[in-house]
């Protein structure tokens, strides 16, 4: 795990300028750094190293290979020169290395980086199809005079790029691009509605004009000399490809699959994926929340380990957010070496103050706060930690799927009923009606009745799946965004695909957007800020390819959240431990606002600050402040998304 950068520019004349950019990524790789500069071609690569596999200097980057074809080998017939800067891990690198050695390749290190570079020499960009892991890397191919960028299938590892005129720059994080001498920070107003709607900015957009994120499962080729029109992007993997839609194939699959077979097959694939993520030359631990996903990771790994694995969890005094007791019971049953940390108000204040430094573009996921603190504690014991990220997206884990499924099956007369009338019925009638609908719509426990009813009302007004899913995935609604920004913009990035079942459509959307733009961003930035490598064992494409081919009526059996993961977990844990209700890894934002709203409001939402920005309608913000100050309810998540933006703006735009 590392920090990478590179590009081509006439403005980069020496290593000092590259070092300045590279310094912004030092937290991602505190174990060493390296620079490659080809002055003739105006190409440079930089690398900050976090040593995980092959800790020796032989694995240092950027790594350069100049090769002649070995006798009897199958490498290119002509001499080749390539240089790579690589971030991530290829878990099956030893198998690929063996295949390359049989073709005549020689290796100087035991690193996966050298395997990636030789794989490119042998198979070109098709090499990416062999890689099983998480990665983002740039290769300078001197023979072809091309920069090649690749990103893993699910987007676990970040990769940003900027182009302006004849300049092309890529990096692991925006903060490195901001250090490029020719970069001008200019907010892209078109993405602001997306941020306030979703709480993050989805790929390929970023907060700045002319800066983008390379999408997951993408290859990008930049020929030299560069201009903004001559690069090429190619998608090599997409999650929806594996859904099996023909009736003949479905019938065949139904004959092949039984519940026992699915559980056994899935257990085998999960076990293989989880064990791959333990490959390292340093200590590895597991984030254990007490939910199904992380519990299964810990259970499978501990069952097949000769020593106790290390598990880590954080807790809160507030029971609404505290999963530590459940995690502790699971750890005790499994026999792990468990580390439990209760977070104090001082801990949260520290994370709050570091938030804008960690997330160098606006990010509204409050779970970044406890993740950062968990990573800090875990880093004292291990250098790598496995998370449960991806389990919800791959295994139908979000309650909104069940909610929309029930709403779609409502009688049409209910869909046309406007629940806004509940606002004038009075609290008793509203409460009675809410009790009827409460099992349909999952909402945070700290939301008040009116907020829940308002969201239910909005969902019922959705004319189709696209509108309903958009509303279910949103924080600020379009009319609120319009009041805030004066323009609601394009917020709906969900496009219905009528070739897929509606659950499949929602699942694919979450994998491509929410997982990549929110969950993985949170985990990557929060852990790398502490020099800790996070690995996501559920995000192995072998798992998805198997599970997505199972017919719908089996894949979504009983319309139950993570049904199949639970069946596997029941082999390792008693059902009473699996039955724990997961809250979601959230910080107590409502409580933070209760304790410090005055200071936050004065610092980030004062009239001078707002008007100097020229982004927001101050009258609308003033109305929000008055509601809050007079005790009227405002969803704290909405306020957090606004404050998080202001914290980012103060840090990065001043």
Least confident of 89-103, 450-464, 564-578: 450-464
Q: At 580, is the pLDDT very low, low, confident or very high (cuts 50, 70, 90)?
A: low
Q: Is 137 inside any structural domain?
A: yes
Catalytic residue, candidates 2, 82, 127, 178: 2
Could you tell me the CATH number of the domain that includes residue 375?
Answer: 3.40.50.620
20, 19, 22: which is closest to 5 by C-alpha?
22
Instruction: With CA atoms as reference, report the closest residue to 348 among 327, 366, 330, 365.
Output: 366
Q: Are residues 100 and 153 in the same domain?
A: yes
Q: Comparing 8-12, 172-176, 514-518, 551-555, which segment has the lowest mean pLDDT?
A: 551-555
Domain identity same for 562 and 595: no
d(CA 112, CA 91): 8
Inside any domain, residue 435:
yes
Do 210 and 350 reside in the same domain of the chain? no
Task: Look at residue 427 in the predicted model and tell me its pLDDT.
Answer: 42
The alpha-helical segments, DSSP class H, found in 380-447 are: 391-394, 399-408, 412-415, 427-437
- What CATH number is associated with residue 82? 3.60.20.10
36-40, 48-52, 195-199, 439-443: least confident range? 439-443
Of the candidate ranges 425-429, 508-512, 517-521, the one whose mean pLDDT is the lowest: 425-429
> 197: part of which helix (H) or strand (E)?
helix 192-198
449 or 579, higher pLDDT: 579
**Most confident region among 243-247, 327-331, 445-449 by mean pLDDT:** 327-331
Q: Say if residue 82 is in the same domain as residue 213.
A: yes
Please tell me the distance from the alpha carbon of residue 653 to that of residue 11, in angstroms, as a whole number: 23
**CA 400 to CA 408: how far, in whole Å?**
12
Give the burial class of 351: count Cβ atoms within 10 A of its Cβ; 0-12 exposed, 13-18 middle, 19 or more buried. Answer: buried
In a domain, 508, yes or no: no
CA separation for the pair 580, 290 (Å, rounded) = 7
Q: What is the DSSP letter of 580?
A: P
pLDDT, residue 430, reads: 46
Query: Model confidence at 419, in pLDDT bands (50, 70, 90)?
Result: very low
| Average pLDDT of span 533-556 | 91
Q: What are the start-end ranges of the H helices in 306-443? A: 324-334, 345-358, 368-379, 391-394, 399-408, 412-415, 427-437
Res. 365: pLDDT tops 70:
yes
Give the HSE-up count for residue 561: Cα atoms under 13 Å, Cβ half-sphere: 18
Q: List, as one string, the DSSP characters of 29-53.
A: -BTEEEEEEETTTTEEEEEEE---S
For residue 126, the 8-state DSSP code is: G
3-state secondary structure of 444: coil
pLDDT (mean) for 387-400: 90
- Based on the fold, state whether residues 291 and 348 are members of the same structural domain: yes
Q: Do 173 and 275 share a domain, yes or no? A: no
Query: How far apart, in whole angstroms, are the C-alpha atoms of residue 235 and residue 96?
Result: 22
Residue 152: name the closest of 213, 233, 216, 85 by CA. 216
Residue 632 is part of which domain span?
589-652
pLDDT score recorded for residue 296:
97
Mean pLDDT for the stretch of residues 292-315:
94
Q: List residues bridging with 187 in a β-sheet.
A: 208
Distance (Å, rounded) from C-alpha 361 to C-alpha 648? 6
Mean pLDDT of 629-639: 84
Look up residue 232 and give its DSSP letter: E
CA distances from 399 to 214, 406, 460, 506, 593 (A): 29, 11, 16, 12, 27
All residues at 6 or more sequence positions from 623 whose CB lies less than 8 Å from its CB, including other chains: none
Mean pLDDT over 2-20 rounds to: 94
pLDDT tens digits, one per residue of 191-214? 999 999 999 999 999 999 999 999
49 closest CA partner among 579, 528, 553: 528
> Residue 273 — φ and ψ, nearest 5°?
-65, -45
Question: Which pLDDT band holds residue 322 (cuts at 50, 70, 90)?
Answer: confident
304 lies in some domain = yes
Count of the separate structural domains present in the chain: 4
Query: What was the pLDDT predicted at 404?
Result: 77
Q: How far is CA 165 from the centre of its chain?
A: 30
Same domain, 46 and 157: yes
Instruction: Identify whether the C-beta of residue 54 lies closer than 8 Å to the C-beta of residue 281.
Output: yes
Helix %, strand %, coil % for the chain, to 5?
45, 15, 40
Domain boundary among 503, 522, 555: 503
Q: What DSSP letter does each residue of 62-82 carry, written as one string?
A: SEEEEE-PPTT--S-SS-EEE
Query: Beta strand pairing status for 63-67 and 32-38?
Result: unpaired
- What band does 417 get if pLDDT is binned at 50, 70 and 90? very low
Does residue 187 form part of some domain? yes
Question: Nearest to residue 149, comparing CAs of 60, 61, 214, 64?
Answer: 214
Whether 109 and 71 share a structural domain: yes
Q: What is the pLDDT of residues 217-229, one digit of tens each?
A: 999 999 998 887 7
Question: Given this model, what pLDDT does residue 54 score?
Answer: 83
Sheet holding 43-49, edge to edge: 32-38, 43-49, 2-8, 167-171, 160-164, 211-213
Cβ atoms of residues 367 and 514 within 8 Å = no
Question: Which pLDDT tens digit goes with each residue over 581-592?
Answer: 555 556 777 777
Say whether pLDDT at 412 is over 50.
Answer: no
Residues 66 and 169 in one domain: yes
In a domain, residue 543? The reply is: yes
159-171: b or e for each residue (b if 16 or more CB lie within 10 Å)? bbbbbbebbbbbb
Residue finishing a domain among 503, 538, 565? 503
**Does the active-site annotation cover 2?**
yes
Among residues 209, 237, 265, the one where a domain terminates is 237
Q: Are residues 45 and 78 in the same domain?
A: yes
For residue 54, being part of any structural domain is answered with yes
Question: Does the reported pTM lie above 0.85?
Answer: yes
Write down the mean pLDDT value for the chain.
86
55 pLDDT above the threshold of 50: yes
> Which of 108-112, 433-437, 559-563 shows the lowest per-residue confidence on average (mean pLDDT)?
433-437
What residues contact 351, with CB distance under 8 A and at least 6 apart?
368, 369, 370, 372, 373, 587
What percentage of the chain reaches a pLDDT higher than 70?
Answer: 85
In the sheet with 80-90, reading across from the earlier edge strand, the strands are 63-67, 80-90, 133-141, 146-151, 218-223, 232-235
CA distances from 307 to 144, 146, 335 (A): 49, 47, 10
For 625, the token pair is 């402040």
More confident residue, 457 or 16: 16
In a domain, 631, yes or no: yes
Assess whether pLDDT exceeds 80 at residue 479.
Answer: yes
d(CA 158, CA 528): 11
pLDDT reported for residue 348? 83
| Judgement on whether residues 6 and 101 belong to the same structural domain of the protein | yes
> Is the torsion defined by CA of 279, 280, 283, 289 positive or negative?
negative
Handedness of CA 100, 1, 67, 9 (dihedral sign): positive
Q: Is-contact 88 131, C-beta < 8 A?
A: no
Do 640 and 545 lie in a common domain?
A: no
265: phi then psi, degrees, rounded to nearest 5 = -60, -45
Given a cut of 90, whether residue 403 has pLDDT beyond it is: no
Pairing of strands 80-90, 133-141: antiparallel
- CA distances to 201, 248, 399, 420, 504 from 405, rounded to whole Å, are 27, 26, 10, 22, 12
Residue partners of 60: CB distance under 8 A and separation at least 6: 32, 34, 47, 49
Q: Please check the confidence at residue 142 and state whether its pLDDT lies above 70.
A: yes
Q: What is the pLDDT of residues 119-136, one digit of tens each?
A: 999 999 999 999 999 999
3-class SS of residue 441? coil
- Does pLDDT of 146 surpass 90? yes
What is the rounded CA–CA span in Å between residue 104 and residue 613? 60
């Amino acid at each position: 795990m590392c920090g990478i950068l590179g590009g081509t520019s006439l403005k980069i004349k020496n290593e000092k300028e590259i070092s300045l950019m590279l310094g912004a990524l030092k937290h991602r790789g505190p174990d060493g750094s390296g620079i490659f500069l080809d002055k003739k071609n105006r190409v440079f690569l930089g690398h900050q190293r976090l040593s995980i596999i092959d800790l020796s200097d032989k694995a240092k980057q950027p790594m350069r290979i100049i090769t002649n074809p070995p006798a009897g080998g199958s490498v290119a017939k002509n001499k080749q020169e390539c240089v790579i800067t690589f971030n991530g891990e290829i878990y099956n690198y030893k198998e690929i290395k063996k295949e390359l050695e049989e073709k005549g390749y020689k290796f100087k290190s035991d690193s996966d980086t050298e395997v990636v570079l030789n794989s490119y020499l042998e198979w070109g960009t098709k090499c990416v199809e062999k890689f099983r892991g998480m990665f983002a890397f740039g290769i300078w191919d001197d023979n072809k005079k091309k920069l090649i960028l690749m990103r893993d299938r699910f987007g676990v590892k970040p990769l940003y790029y900027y182009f302006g005129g004849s300049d092309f720059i890529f990096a692991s994080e925006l903060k490195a691009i901001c250090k490029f001498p020719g970069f001008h920070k200019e907010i892209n107003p078109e993405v602001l509605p997306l941020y306030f709607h979703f709480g993050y900015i989805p790929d390929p957009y970023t907060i700045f004009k002319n800066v983008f994120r390379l999408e997951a499962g993408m290859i990008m080729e930049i020929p030299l000399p560069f201009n903004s029109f001559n690069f090429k992007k190619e998608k090599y993997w997409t999650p929806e490809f594996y859904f099996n839609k023909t009736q003949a194939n479905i019938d065949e699959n139904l004959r092949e699959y039984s519940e026992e077979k699915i559980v056994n097959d899935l257990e085998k694939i999960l076990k293989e994926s989880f064990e791959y993520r333990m490959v390292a030359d340093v200590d590895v631990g597991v984030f254990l929340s007490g939910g199904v996903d992380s519990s299964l990771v810990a259970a499978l790994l501990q069952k097949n380990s000769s020593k106790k694995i290390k598990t880590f969890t954080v807790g809160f005094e507030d029971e609404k957010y505290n999963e530590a007791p459940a995690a502790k019971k699971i750890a005790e049953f499994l026999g792990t070496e468990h580390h439990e940390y209760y977070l104090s108000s001082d801990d949260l204040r520290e994370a709050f103050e570091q938030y804008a430094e960690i997330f160098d573009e606006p990010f509204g996921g409050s779970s970044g706060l406890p993740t950062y603190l968990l990573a800090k504690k875990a880093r004292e014991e291990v250098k790598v930690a496995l998370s449960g990220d991806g389990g919800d997206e791959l295994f139908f884990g979000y309650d909104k799927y069940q909610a929309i499924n029930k709403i779609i099956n409502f009688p049409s007369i209910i869909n046309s009923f406007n629940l806004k009338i509940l606002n004038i019925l009075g609290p008793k009638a509203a409460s009675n009606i809410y009790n009827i609908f409460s099992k349909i719509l999952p909402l945070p426990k700290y939301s008040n009745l009116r907020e829940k009813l308002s969201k239910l009302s909005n969902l019922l007004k959705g004319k189709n799946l696209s509108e309903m899913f958009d509303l279910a995935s949103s924080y600020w609604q379009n009319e609120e965004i319009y009041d805030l920004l004066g323009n609601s913009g394009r917020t709906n990035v969900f496009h219905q695909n009528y070739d897929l079942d509606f659950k499949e459509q929602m699942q694919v959307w979450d994998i491509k957007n929410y997982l990549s733009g929110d969950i993985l961003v949170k985990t990557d930035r929060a852990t790398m800020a502490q020099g800790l490598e996070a690995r996501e064992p559920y995000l192995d494409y072998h798992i998805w390819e198997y599970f997505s081919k199972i017919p719908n009526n089996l894949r979504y059996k009983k319309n139950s959240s993570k049904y199949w993961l639970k069946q596997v977990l029941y082999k390792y844990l008693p059902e009473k431990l699996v039955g724990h209700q997961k809250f979601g890894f959230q910080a107590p934002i409502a409580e933070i606002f209760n304790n410090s709203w005055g200071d936050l409001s004065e610092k980030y939402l004062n009239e001078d600050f707002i008007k100097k920005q020229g982004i927001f309608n101050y009258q609308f913000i003033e109305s929000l402040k008055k509601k809050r100050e007079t005790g009227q309810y405002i969803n704290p998540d909405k306020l957090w998304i606004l404050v998080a933006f202001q914290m980012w703006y103060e840090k990065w735009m001043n």
